Structure 1
Amino acid sequence: MKQLIYSVYVILPIILLWGAKFSGFKNFNEEFLSLKQTKAVQGFLAICIMLHHIAQKTCASWIQPQSRIVHGLDIFVNAGFLLVSVFLFFNGYGVYKSFHSKENYLNGFIKKRILPVVLALYTTTLIFFVARLLIGEKMDGKQIALYLTSIDLCNPNTWYVIVLPFFYLAFYLSFKFIKKDGLAVFATTAFVIAYIVLGTNIDHNDYWLRGEWWYNCVILFPVGIIFAKFENKIVPHLQKFYWVYFAVAFIGYYPVYRWSQGVCGRFGYYGEEWLPHNIVVMNRLISVSSQAVVTTLFVLCVLLLSMKLKVGNKFINFMGTITLEFYLIHGLFVELFGWQFDGGVRSPHHIKYVIVYVLVVFALGVPSAILLKHIHEIILGKRKVSAKASLKISA
Structure 2
Amino acid sequence: MSELLLFVIVFFPIIVAIVKSIASPLRWSDTLPTSSSAALRGYMALMILWGHDTGGYYFIDGTLSYPYPWVISALRLGLQCTGFLFVGIFFALSAYGCRQKWVQDQNYIKSFLPRRIINVWMPFVLIGISLGAVKNGIWGGTYSQLFLNCFDFNVWPVHWYIIFALLFYVAFYCVYSSVTQHQDVIMCIVILCYLSYCYIAKKNEVYYVSQIGLLIGILYSRYEKMINLKKNKFLSWWAILFVVFLVIYNYPFLIWPKGIYISILNDGPIYRMISVGLICICAFFMLHFVDFSKSRWLRFLGTISMEIYLIHSFCMMLTDAFRIQMEPYLSYSVAYGIKTILTICFTIILALVYQRIIKKIKRYMLGNATIR
Please report the TM-score for the alignment, with normalisation by the length of structure 1.
Answer: 0.76
Note the 1:192-207 alignment, pairs <5 A: 192-200=191-199
Q: Counterpart of 2:188?
A: 189
* Structure 1 Cα separation of the partners of residues 11 and 141 of structure 2: 43
Query: By how many angstroms is 1:31 displaced?
Result: 6.8
Q: Counterpart of 1:343?
A: none
Query: By how many angstroms is 1:324 displaced?
Result: 0.7
- CA change 1:130–1:261 in 2 (3 A) is farther
Q: Does residue 1:177 correspond to 2:178, yes or no?
A: yes
Contact kept? 1:32, 1:303, Cα under 8 Å? no
* Structure 2 Cα separation of the partners of residues 220 and 378 of structure 1: 32
Contact kept? 1:59, 1:70, Cα under 8 Å? no
Q: Counterpart of 1:292?
A: 273
Contact kept? 1:59, 1:74, Cα under 8 Å? no
Query: By how many angstroms is 1:81 displaced?
Result: 0.5
Contact kept? 1:336, 1:348, Cα under 8 Å? no
- CA change 1:8–1:122 in 2 (3 A) is same
* Structure 2 Cα separation of the partners of residues 144 and 19 of structure 1: 40
Q: Counterpart of 1:253?
A: 246
- CA change 1:60–1:137 in 2 (3 A) is farther
Query: By how many angstroms is 1:193 displaced?
Result: 2.3
- CA change 1:142–1:363 in 2 (3 A) is closer
* Structure 2 Cα separation of the partners of residues 350 and 197 of structure 1: 46
Q: Does residue 1:75 correspond to 2:75, yes or no?
A: no
Q: Any stretches of 5+ residues in structure 1 without a counterpart?
A: 63-68, 204-208, 268-286, 340-346, 385-395
- CA change 1:164–1:356 in 2 (3 A) is same
Contact kept? 2:311, 2:347, Cα under 8 Å? yes
Matched to 1:335, the amino acid is M
Decide which of 212, 215, 224 is 1:219's aligned counterpart: 212
- Tell me the SS of whatever aligns to 1:107: helix
- Tell me the SS of whatever aligns to 2:133: helix
Decide which of 342, 360, 363 is 1:378's aligned counterpart: 360
* Range with greater deviation from structure 2 (119-128 or 223-232): 119-128
Determine which structure has greater relative contact order: mean sequence separation of CA pairs < 8 Å that are 6+ residues apart, divided by chain length.
2
* Structure 2 Cα separation of the partners of residues 41 and 10 of structure 1: 17
* Structure 2 Cα separation of the partners of residues 114 and 56 of structure 1: 34
Q: Deviations over 1:28-59 (max 9, x none)?
A: 34277110111111111111111011015473
* Structure 2 Cα separation of the partners of residues 19 and 252 of structure 1: 24
* Structure 2 Cα separation of the partners of residues 59 and 88 of structure 1: 30
* Structure 1 Cα separation of the partners of residues 198 and 131 of structure 2: 26
- CA change 1:213–1:132 in 2 (3 A) is same
Decide which of 81, 86, 90 is 2:89's aligned counterpart: 86
Contact kept? 1:32, 1:310, Cα under 8 Å? no
Matched to 1:374, the amino acid is R
Matched to 1:327, the amino acid is Y
Q: Counterpart of 1:95?
A: 98
* Structure 1 Cα separation of the partners of residues 214 and 167 of structure 2: 11
Note the 1:347-386 alignment, pairs <5 A: 352=327, 353-381=335-363
Q: Counterpart of 2:13?
A: 15
* Structure 2 Cα separation of the partners of residues 299 and 213 of structure 1: 17
Q: Counterpart of 1:153?
A: 154
- CA change 1:169–1:138 in 2 (3 A) is closer
- CA change 1:379–1:138 in 2 (3 A) is closer
Please report the TM-score for the alignment, with normalisation by the length of structure 2.
Answer: 0.80
Contact kept? 1:22, 1:310, Cα under 8 Å? yes
- Please state which structure has a larger fraction of its residues in helix: 2
Q: Deviations over 1:50-70 (max 9, x none)?
A: 1011015473549xxxxxx98
How many residue pairs align between the two structures? 340
Q: Counterpart of 1:326?
A: 308
* Structure 1 Cα separation of the partners of residues 23 and 7 of structure 2: 26
Query: By how many angstroms is 1:198 displaced?
Result: 3.7
Contact kept? 1:89, 1:222, Cα under 8 Å? yes
* Structure 2 Cα separation of the partners of residues 302 and 46 of structure 1: 15
- CA change 1:26–1:256 in 2 (3 A) is farther
Matched to 2:317, the amino acid is E
* Structure 2 Cα separation of the partners of residues 170 and 355 of structure 1: 41
* Structure 2 Cα separation of the partners of residues 26 and 378 of structure 1: 41
* Structure 1 Cα separation of the partners of residues 350 and 262 of structure 2: 36
Q: Does residue 1:301 correspond to 2:282, yes or no?
A: yes
* Structure 2 Cα separation of the partners of residues 43 and 30 of structure 1: 21
Q: Counterpart of 2:134?
A: 131
- Tell me the SS of whatever aligns to 1:50: helix
Note the 1:231-242 alignment, pairs <5 A: 231-235=224-228, 239-241=232-234
* Structure 2 Cα separation of the partners of residues 351 and 198 of structure 1: 46
Query: By how many angstroms is 1:295 displaced?
Result: 0.9
Query: By how many angstroms is 1:19 displaced?
Result: 5.0
* Range with greater deviation from structure 2 (127-136 or 102-111): 127-136
Contact kept? 1:322, 1:370, Cα under 8 Å? yes
Query: By how many angstroms is 1:380 displaced?
Result: 2.3
- CA change 1:351–1:156 in 2 (3 A) is farther
* Structure 2 Cα separation of the partners of residues 373 and 26 of structure 1: 36
* Structure 2 Cα separation of the partners of residues 150 and 103 of structure 1: 29
Matched to 2:223, the amino acid is F
